[in-house]
Amino acid sequence: MLLRTGQEALANVRKHAAASTVTVLLCYSADVVRLEVTDDGVGFDPAVVNGGYGLRGMRGRVAEAGGIVTVCSAPGDGTSVQVEVPV
């Protein structure tokens, strides 16, 4: 599930962000695993739904595992997608 979510986040960067840098971070503890994909691209307004499947699919996939997806972005500011799932 984390692999597919990471792939989708990276695909979104490639398709939409016009980023020059992407960072992928995977952290884990005794009770949670966190995946974070951050780019320095064009960003977007997360409140505006564009009808695509990418983020919606990520949220659904992660929710099935009991986790959450947090998207931080703003036009001109890049994007960070954080996924946390219980171990």
- At 22-80, the pLDDT tens digits run 999 999 999 999 999 999 999 998 888 676 778 888 999 999 999 999 999 999 999 99
Expressed as residue numbers, the domain containing 31 is: 2-86
Q: How high is the pLDDT of residue 54? A: 82
When divided into structural domains, the chain yields a total of: 1
The number of angstroms, rounded, from the C-alpha of 22 to the middle of its chain's C-alpha atoms is 12
For residue 10, pLDDT over 70 is answered with yes
Name 9's Cβ contacts closer than 8 Å, sequence gap at least 6: 35, 37, 58, 81
Gap between the Cα atoms of 42 and 70, Å rounded: 18
Give the bridge partners for 28, in sequence order.
33
Q: pTM score, two decimals?
A: 0.91
Q: How many residues does the chain have?
A: 87
Could you give the C-alpha distances from 56 to 5, 19, 59, 60, 66, in angstroms and in order? Answer: 11, 22, 5, 6, 15
DSSP secondary structure, 52-85, as one string: -SHHHHHHHHHHHTT-EEEEEE-TTS-EEEEEEE
For residues 8-19, give the mean pLDDT: 94
Q: Residue 33 is part of a domain; what is its CATH number?
A: 3.30.565.10
